[in-house]
Amino acid sequence: MIKIRKTHVGVLSGAALAVSAAALLCLPSCEQGSSAPSAGASPFARPFPMPHGYWKKTDEFYCFASGGQQGGIYVYGMPSMKLLSEIPIFNVDPRWGWTTANPEVREMMTNPRTGEVLISGDTHHPVLSRKDAKYDGKWLFINDKRNARIARMNLATFRTEEILWMENVPGGMHGFSSGPNTELLIGNIELESYPAKEIRDYLGAEVDIDLIKGPYVSCVFGVKVAPDGTMKTAWQVWGPWQYDLARAGWGESDGWFINTAYNTERSVNTVGMFKRPEDYVFYWNIASIEKAVADGKFITTEEAPDVPVIKWSDIELYAAPCPLNPHGLDIDPTGRYALSSGKATTLVRHYDFRKVKTAIEEQNFIGEEFGVPIIDKEAISGDIDTGLGPTHIEYDNEGYCYIGFFVDSDVKKVALGDPWDKKHGHEPWSVVDTIPAHYSVGHLMVPGGDSAEPYGKYLVIMNKLTKDTFLHHGPLICENHELYDIETVPAPLIDQMSLPPESHYAQGIPVSLVTQHAKSVYDLPSTLPTPGVAYDYDNKKATVTMTCVRSFFTPDMFTVPQGWDVDVQIQNVEMSLDMTHGWALTGYDVMESIDPGEHKTLQFKATHEGVFWYYCLWFCSELHMEMRGRMIVIPEAEWTPELEWSALK
């Protein structure tokens, strides 16, 4: 017999009791044949049995989450939390057609200064392209912290189109942001450098640098983005400090960018980075940097003769004290407020850009360091003391910010100040909800939460620790992305999603902004290639022109002398959605996917003799197993023109 405590009956409506009883007793309202949630159930409940196409119809946002050490991007739908894709970027992944057997990929992965091919990376901060500080759904940019690279993905294809290697630095690229119209990307080098002699000499006696003992120096950079998306480093500004997170302004902060430094001590060890009571938030005037370039106040290096290197003392730069060892740094939708958290404290500081500009005009400074004026924090900011280990901040469309706390394992929903208080009606900078998390909040994301037009509705908490949330799977445990409904107070947990380590930041964008550009298949050339094999005896190279279609490779056999280079040009002639093929070659490290309508080039050397089968990677039809062919490698001493493919076919 089921008992309901009398104290509970008094607070349950009749409808709620009916739903509860039906759920417990399995009355007809939840019987197996029902195709929709029962009346009164959560709008996020899943229907049973599941109707076809349900997630396509109900998902409202794409989430693009960085992969960290995976080197790419994870893509999933919201609110379903269903993983859709991985975008390989700085890693290789034949599932998604991204390997260094493809010369285009290999060129992008090759360090232009050393010639090394680097096929691993550490992705941190995805940046969606925007117009008027709002997402436009065209591109996604992301940084590689380890190797100081920036990649651009085309959201029409969910594939990487370009990688820019940052000049003059060995690595350590961290904070990364876009201007309001994605004409300029700005970013930081977090790990201090011992730069080229030209830069050291240029900084001169104004800043101390020592190869062994330190301290070292670092830079901020700007990257110009052309209308077609191509990138070029516009400038670097070098100075005494390293920098963590960065945000380009819009609205009231347009024309500026801000960043943080958690090591204003310029220490080379952890203990030394805690010697000061506070660190700095920096305000950089972009026009002053561009003027320095126009006025010729820069040098270049032998490594990067086209990149202006500017001294920090030659541009307009200001500092403001911030809580110790800051991490989070985010601008509200109006561009007026910036919040910075001190991860070694309980404090989050909010800065009013109106007051910052007034303080600069009135020279309300409390001193200077390395010639940089320090703005009086009392004139421009206030503190929120809300918990241990504050990390990152996101914003919604109703005048609230969401602050993650690593130590407290929760997120605080905080009411913003003027003019938002007129909308939400709460005391400015007060906590209106505490949202628990499992466990240790790193980043968090509200769709559009780093733009001038947040979409609100959902909050994704990206937990660094998972512990007992999911099935045990060894010592290295997945991460937990938790989805909350922030239109309700207290915010209920909708779903939890396991994701491989280690995701750092994510961005959510409405489905419609992506699908308006998205391709289903690639465009076929007006004239399809004629299959065959061309033999270049002067350069010892065989070029194979091949087509693939269910369930045939044409040609399904070719010959090549041992030791020759092989260039396979494959055209997938399918024009049907989801009809991807692949080309995997036994005995060689060659394996690639080819999407519908796509053309791929694969290059390798025929180093060992024998018969090597190639086959389709994807179970593309009933005759998938039969979709295969042979590469026959013949010792060069035994080769004659009579063994060419055209003579044998």
What is the side-by-side strand order in the sheet with 381-385?
A: 326-331, 337-342, 347-352, 381-385
The single residue listed with the structure tokens 């320090």 is 374
Span 289-299, average pLDDT: 98
Number of domains in the chain: 2
Half-sphere exposure of 14 (CA within 13 A, CB side): 0
Other beta carbons within 10 angstroms of residue 427's beta carbon come to 11
- Residue 45 has a pLDDT of 85
Closest CA to 565 of 590, 584, 546: 590
The pLDDT tens digits for 626-644 are 999 999 999 999 999 999 9
Amino acid 551: pLDDT: 94
Predicted confidence at residue 41, as pLDDT, reads: 72
Under 8 Å between Cβ of 644 and 141: no
Please classify residue 198 by burial: count the beta carbons closer than 10 Å to its beta carbon, then call 0-12 exposed, 13-18 middle and 19+ buried: middle
Q: How far apart are CA 533 and CA 545, in angstroms?
A: 6
Task: List, in sequence order, every residue forming a beta bridge with 352; answer none if it has no partner.
Answer: 337
CA–CA distance, 220 with 218 (Å, rounded to integer):
7
Domain region containing 18: 1-32
Is 90 within the bounds of a domain? Answer: no
Query: Above 80 in pLDDT, residue 257?
Result: yes
Mapped onto helix, strand or coil, the DSSP state of residue 511 is: helix
Average of per-residue pLDDT across 419-441: 96
Q: In whole numbers, what is the pLDDT of the chain averaged over residues?
A: 92
- Cα Rg for the chain, rounded, in angstroms? 28
Look at residue 626 and tell me if it is in a domain.
yes
Tokens read off for 575? 């024009």
Q: What tokens were used for 25? A: 């007793």
**Nearest to residue 144, comparing CAs of 93, 69, 211, 251?**
69
Whether 229 is in a domain gets the answer no
| pTM as predicted | 0.92
Instruction: Please give the average per-residue pLDDT across 642-647, as a whole number.
Output: 95
Q: Is the pLDDT of residue 17 over 50?
A: no
Q: Is a pLDDT exceeding 70 seen at residue 398?
A: yes
Question: 239 pLDDT exceeds 80?
Answer: yes
Residue whose C-alpha is closest to residue 484's, from 93, 168, 79: 79
Across-strand partners of 592? Answer: 583
Strand partners, 499: 479
| pLDDT higher than threshold 50 for residue 333 | yes
Residue 308 CB neighbour total at 10 angstroms = 21
Whether 337 shows a pLDDT value over 60: the answer reads yes
> What's the rounded mean pLDDT across residues 6-17?
33
> pLDDT value at position 43?
81
- Whether 15 has a pLDDT exceeding 50, the answer reads no
For 155, the 3-state DSSP assignment is: coil
Predicted confidence at residue 360, as pLDDT, reads 97
Does residue 135 register a pLDDT over 80?
yes
Residue 16 has pLDDT above 50, yes or no: no
Q: Residues 520-545: pLDDT tens digits?
A: 999 999 999 999 999 999 999 999 99
Split at pLDDT 50, 70, 90, the class of 649 is: confident
DSSP 460: E
Whether 26 shows a pLDDT value over 90: the answer reads no
Mean local confidence (pLDDT), 356-369: 97
| pLDDT of 38 | 53
Question: Residue 311: its pLDDT value, please?
Answer: 98
Token match 């197996």: residue? 32
Q: What is the pLDDT of residues 161-187, one digit of tens each?
A: 999 999 999 999 999 999 999 999 999
Q: What percent of the chain has pLDDT over 70?
A: 94
Would 560 be classed as within a structural domain?
yes
Taking the CA atoms of 476, 70, 183 and 186 in sequence, report the sign of the dihedral they define: positive
Supply the CATH number for residue 589's domain.
Answer: 2.60.40.420
Q: What is the dihedral of CA 188, 209, 304, 173, to 10 degrees?
A: -20
Which of left, alpha, beta for 85 (phi over 0: left; psi -120 to 50: alpha)?
A: beta
Beta bridge partners of 593: 582
Say if residues 225 and 297 touch (Cβ distance below 8 Å): no
Q: Alpha-carbon distance 151 to 168, whole Å?
A: 18
Domain-embedded: residue 427: no
Residue 202 within a domain: no
Other Cβ atoms less than 10 A from the Cβ of 452: the count is 19
* Cβ pair 238, 309 in contact under 8 A: yes
Q: Is residue 544 part of a domain?
A: yes
3-class state of residue 24 by DSSP: helix
Selected residue with higher pLDDT from 2 and 154 = 154
Residue from 634, 485, 487 nearest 561 by CA: 634
Q: Which helix (H) or strand (E) holds 515?
A: helix 511-515
388 in Cβ contact with 407 (< 8 Å): yes
**CA angle (144 as vertex; 470, 121 as ends), nearest 5:** 65
Domain membership flag for residue 580: yes
Question: Which burial class, exposed, middle or buried, applies to 361 when counting CB atoms under 10 A from its CB (0-12, 13-18, 19+)?
Answer: exposed
Q: What are phi and psi of 312, to 5 degrees?
A: -55, -30
128 vs 155: CA distance, rounded Å: 10
| Mean pLDDT, residues 567-596 | 96
Residue with tokens 């110009």: 224
